[in-house]
Amino acid sequence: MAAVRNILFVMYDQLRFDYLGCAGHPHLKTPNFDRLAAMGVRFDRAYVQSPVCGASRMSFYTGRYVSSHGAAYNNYPLKVGELTLGDHLRKAGVQSWLVGKTHMKADAEGMARLGLAPDSVIGARVAECGFDVWDRDDGLWSAGPDGIYDARRSPYNAWLMAQGYPGPNPWQDHANAGVSAEGDILSGWYLLNSGQPANIREQDSETPWLTRRCIDFLGSEAAQAPWLCHLSYIKPHWPYIVPEPWAGLYGPEHVVPPVRDARERQNPHPVYRAFMDNRIGQAFARDEVRAAVIPAYMGLIAQADAEFGRLLDHLEATGRLADTMIVLTSDHGDYLGDHWMGEKDLFHDPSARIPLIVYDPRAAADATRGTVCHALVEAIDLAPTFVQAVGAEVPGHILEGRSLQPWLHGQAPEWRAAVVSEYDWATSPMAADLGVAPRDARLFMVFDGRWKLMHCEGGFRPMLFDLQTDPQELIDLGDSPGHVGQVARMYDLLHAWARRIAQRTTVSDAQVLARRKGAPERVGVLIGVAEAGDVAPDVAALLAGKAQARFV
Amino acid sequence: MAAVRNILFVMYDQLRFDYLGCAGHPHLKTPNFDRLAAMGVRFDRAYVQSPVCGASRMSFYTGRYVSSHGAAYNNYPLKVGELTLGDHLRKAGVQSWLVGKTHMKADAEGMARLGLAPDSVIGARVAECGFDVWDRDDGLWSAGPDGIYDARRSPYNAWLMAQGYPGPNPWQDHANAGVSAEGDILSGWYLLNSGQPANIREQDSETPWLTRRCIDFLGSEAAQAPWLCHLSYIKPHWPYIVPEPWAGLYGPEHVVPPVRDARERQNPHPVYRAFMDNRIGQAFARDEVRAAVIPAYMGLIAQADAEFGRLLDHLEATGRLADTMIVLTSDHGDYLGDHWMGEKDLFHDPSARIPLIVYDPRAAADATRGTVCHALVEAIDLAPTFVQAVGAEVPGHILEGRSLQPWLHGQAPEWRAAVVSEYDWATSPMAADLGVAPRDARLFMVFDGRWKLMHCEGGFRPMLFDLQTDPQELIDLGDSPGHVGQVARMYDLLHAWARRIAQRTTVSDAQVLARRKGAPERVGVLIGVAEAGDVAPDVAALLAGKAQARFV
């Protein structure tokens, strides 16, 4: 099987699984996303390893579960020593480039301990999660009275200033704000301002800028060698605001009704209740908030789709569709008021389920083009898919996901029984309110395609949904006497996963198997040997001093 | 509380918990081990994290469970990035020195990936499990027809040659072999030769040599600064052979009867059966093997005890007993024919339980001197004990053990409900015979002080022992219908452990708690805010462009 030469790994931030035309949204049009789906396979049961940016991305980039890599929340440093996509692909001669967001926090203490200078090639890659940086832009260039959120230099802000946008932070004041008739800034941070058009030229907004940066990369000297390019967009993540013509494209009449039910508020699970009742949940429970936010969110997606089309056209015009794998996905979803929630955090489908489309240019994938695959897929499956696609051996002792290549090539592999996702809410004030210790404020989802269990450390009961009879996940069966057996079965799946071997990353399974054939006696290690007659004559001769070892 | 200045961390290899005078052995005299027990606390329910040298030691040195550090078997490299005792103590100004064995295998691939040169200070410490090497000697300088087991230079062999011992490998031909009247080498590798006196001057054998190397260190310039010295003896690990006068000290009349029962061979657990039936088990089932090996094993311990006395005298004479914590322990035990087994590997007490004596020189420990503590202790408890003893803060997000200091100081802390040990037998030919895949050939022990469960991956039933009614662990209740509830309860303990947070090592619990008080709005991150009136006036002013961020 020929390898693909390049991989274009496109990620959107906070893009719901069902906000694509090809995924069935009744109003939103995404002709270019749909075009990719027609070229490849759309995986419609893909889940993230954690419904929060940082932890989810570290799983995408390491190919490992959150509890394996340890960077369980935003700005938890990824420990020195964790291997990344970049490490695996470089071994196969493929360079990994970043254009956009990673949410990577470097393990500065670990780097100092090992003497890794951040400005060395090795140190920079360790600090940047294995990528070589074309442009890193995490898209959170916010500023408040106490200072700025992200201490890095913003390449996007620098570019905006070079275009003549005024002030110290055009990201905040222009790209993510509207303007009143009187010239006042109408910040996109306020949800009720989301309907305003962003006060920026359309082509200067974040999504077109990153697309151009990617196209610049594609035409560069760097792209002459085989590459993975991680084009990682900021949007449609909040602040929810978009310039015209996208701001006016959709209106309240295109907002689908929220998926929520009064029964969800009756005696809810305490952790779920805490999330519903926080400021975010309360805001998104308001119809006027959804009416303002969701059209902007849809406009941001429409813009992303248009830019994606531009990118596909460029790849086609430059011949790259013939040798480039293209992946479109997101780091998690967005509740948008469903289940009385905003944001992400918990494991209902709007949060933990993601869009995933994979285009494989090779002829072996021709039979599956335009199809939908219902396999239970995890975010960590992409790393081994990429490693296999470029023709390298998948290090199964390090990468915990499974290559999607068999699905892409029309095979029906044996597959996992369930997907697992995790969430560390230990830094949340809600954990303080509920009196949950840092080590106990952790949630686990296990979903087998029908039943979805949420386990909470800290002494809480589980939550359980039956997606066959309750596809909208409105009826929590976690304390249902009739479902004790299902709960136990789901816990069995969770615990088989929890006992997995995750850290034996320095020895491959093949090396283990080779060792089974080892003969310690041949190097003089005799365990359980009673006397000389029990070993081979050459071993006995050597131990009697009548022969010499070959290498001594 | 004043800190201790130094730590002498003495480890024997394969020393059973019950082969000490103070532990009640009916024949073996260990007056110097007993002297330490009178000075400190003897922990009589201490267990290793794995009953095999390499994995157990990596847990001692990292303070982490085997499935957390990943070096699950001998010569599985400890991955770059894992923190060690040396790393933690150096932060407190204490240097960690090695005299003897670690069984450390460096992660050469990981070091190369991060550009760590083995001959740099940082690289050498990474390669040597965090220690500065005074002398490293793993004591397995065997040679066979295909070459040598350990590619390192043997400092002990070099020293023996300098003393005039002939041949390329006096470790094998003299220190670990007898000699016949005709001058033929009688290798100590053969169990039935164990009764022979080793053909070496007593003071030149391994245990006195390492003691002298330690005393050399104690008198060196290096020991002028606070230190931990890991004096890590090779013996009484096989080859079981010792020079006179120790060879003749004990005879078959001092061999205690084996702890075994015909019932153990009736329908045994398949994994247990495989171990019983291997060459080692078969050898130790023979009375003549035990009659030859055990007196030699006892002689090796008697020699170790005498050398330990010499060391205590030296510490006393040099004033070091006043400021030095002293620990005596082992990396695992030795079945010696009990349970139809030789070696270690499984979790019966002769294998997984270890001697552990801790002398704390501080006045706060005066009340506990000479006492025995029955708390459930794990090998990983020593690392935090050491860190606390030198006055540093214990990094509980990295070290998974618990400091023993409260017990040493007469307190009764809340304590763990169970100890856990693990064993990776994936490289064993028995795994091939039983058809067990590399990732499934793993065993777990969980012991709550009464019930001991062994869980086997790969579809096997568990083993269960009730040490209250069956202290010798002869009756396997793993498939007893009357013990289904106990099995389930023990699995609950195992799974609570399996779900533990083990890899969030870059963020402390204190940092997590501090983040709960964070105010994202102060740096301009507004999540779930509907409008300007919902935030503080200074935040609103800034977002309206009417104020500037403090740091932009």
Tokens of A176: 């993510």
Interchain proximity A525–B149, CB inside 8 Å: yes
The span from the CA of B438 to the CA of B483, in Å, is: 30
The per-residue pLDDT for range A22-52, each reduced to its tens digit, is 999 999 999 999 999 999 999 999 999 999 9
Read off the pLDDT of each residue in B166-185 and give the average, rounded to a whole number.
96
Chains A and B form CB pairs within 8 A to the count of 349
pLDDT at site B47: 98
Write the DSSP assignment of B233-248 as a string of letters. --TTSSS--B-TTTTT
Rounded to the nearest integer, the mean pLDDT of chain A is 97
When scoring B121, B345, B499 by the number of chain A Cβ atoms within 10 A, the one with the most, hence best to mutate, is: B499
CB contact under 8 A, A528 and B77: no
Minimum distance, in Å, between the CA of residue A441 and any CA atom of chain B: 10
Average pLDDT of the residues in A489-494 = 98
- What pLDDT shows up at residue A551? 59
Flag if B438 and A513 touch (Cβ within 8 Å): yes
The answer to whether A107 contacts B506, with C-beta atoms less than 8 Å apart, is yes
B412: which DSSP letter? -
Q: What is the pLDDT of residues A434-452, one digit of tens each?
A: 999 999 999 999 999 999 9
CA distance A290 to chain B (A): 10
CB B270 within 8 A of CB B323: no
Closest partner residue to A68 among B107, B503, B549, by Cβ?
Answer: B503
CB burial readout A361-391, b (16+ within 10 A) else e: bbeebeebeeeebebbbbbbbbbbbbbbbbe
* pLDDT tens profile A518-550: 889 999 999 999 999 999 999 999 999 998 877
CA distances (Å), B323 to each of A227, B319, B362, in order? 59, 8, 8
Verify whether the Cβ–Cβ distance B529 to A190 is below 8 Å. Answer: yes
Q: Which residues of B touch A544 (CB under 8 A)?
A: 184-185, 187
What is the pLDDT at residue A2? 87
Q: Which of chain A's residues have a Cβ under 8 Å away from the Cβ of B279? A: 527-529
DSSP string, B272-339: HHHHHTSHHHHHHTSHHHHHHHHHHHHHHHHHHHHHHHHHHHHHHHTTGGGTEEEEEEES----TTGG
Residue identified by tokens 């290090």 is: A395
Beta bridge partners of B179: B185
Angle at which helix A382-389 crosses helix A53-62, to 10 degrees, equals 30
CA distance B215 to chain A (A): 30
**Residues β-bridged to residue B373:** B43
Q: What is the pLDDT of residues B330-354, one digit of tens each?
A: 999 999 999 999 999 999 999 999 9
The answer, yes or no, to whether residue A130 has pLDDT greater than 60, is yes
Chain B residue at shortest CA distance from A110? B81
- ipTM comes to 0.96
Q: B315 with B219: CB under 8 angstroms?
A: no
Residue of B nearest to A422 (CA): B499
Shortest Cα distance from B408 to chain A (angstroms)?
27
Looking at residue A552, what is its pLDDT?
46
Distance from C-alpha of A118 to C-alpha of A129, rounded to nearest angstrom: 12
Helical (H) or strand (E) element with A289 = helix A287-317
Residue-wise pLDDT for A74-94, tens only, equals 999 999 999 999 999 999 999
The length of chain A, given as a count of residues: 552
Listing DSSP states for B146-204 in one string gives TEES--S--HHHHHHHHTT--SS-HIIIIITEEE-TTS-EEETTSGGGTTSBPSS-GGG
Please, which pLDDT band fits residue A152 given cuts at 50, 70 and 90?
confident
Residue B454: burial class (beta carbons within 10 Å; 0-12, 13-18, 19+): buried
Residue A69's pLDDT is: 98
The answer to whether the Cβ–Cβ distance between A191 and B530 falls below 8 Å is yes
Q: Nearest by CB to B189, from A501, A512, A526: name it.
A: A526
Which pLDDT does position B271 carry in this prediction?
A: 98
The per-residue pLDDT for range A223-278, each reduced to its tens digit, is 999 999 999 999 999 999 999 999 999 999 999 999 999 999 999 999 999 999 99
Measuring CA to CA, how many Å separate A62 from each of A113, A126, A398? 22, 12, 9
- Taking contacts as CB-CB distances below 8 angstroms, the residues of chain B near A526 are 189-190
CB within 8 A of A481, min separation 6: which ones?
none
Distances in whole angstroms, Cα of residue B169 to Cα of each of A428, B160, B212, B234: 62, 9, 21, 17
Model pLDDT for residues B369-421, shown as the tens digit of each residue: 999 999 999 999 999 999 999 999 999 999 999 999 999 999 999 999 999 99
Quick one: three-class SS letters along A50-61?
Answer: CCCHHHHHHHHH
Give residue B151's pLDDT band: very low, low, confident or very high (50, 70, 90). confident
Rg (CA), chain A: 26
Show the CA angle centred on residue A186, arms to residues A183 and A187, nearest 5°.
Answer: 140
pLDDT at A67 over 70: yes
Under the banding of pLDDT at 50, 70 and 90, the label for residue B551 is low
Chain A: closest CA distance from residue B100 (Å): 19
Nearest CB partner across the interface for B522, out of A146, A281, A429? A146
Answer whether the bond into residue A239 is a cis peptide, omega within 30°: yes
- Give the 3-state DSSP-derived string for A390-452, with helices as H, strands as E and coil as C: CCCCCCCCCCCCCCCHHHHCCCCCCCCCCEEEEEECCCCHHHHHCCCCCCCCEEEEEECCCEE
Q: What is the pLDDT of residue A49?
A: 98
Would the CB atoms of B114 and A114 count as touching at under 8 Å? yes
Chain A, nearest residue to B78 by Cα: A506
Residue among B71, B185, B527 whose CB faces A545 most closely: B185
User: Against a cut of 0.90, is the pTM above it?
Assistant: yes
- Residue A168: asked if its preceding bond is cis (omega within 30°), the reply is no
Closest CA to A153 of A145, A161, A164: A161
pLDDT of residue B552: 46
Give the closest of B79, B500, B506 to A70, CB-based: B506
Task: Give me the phi and psi of B47, to 5 degrees please.
Answer: -130, 150
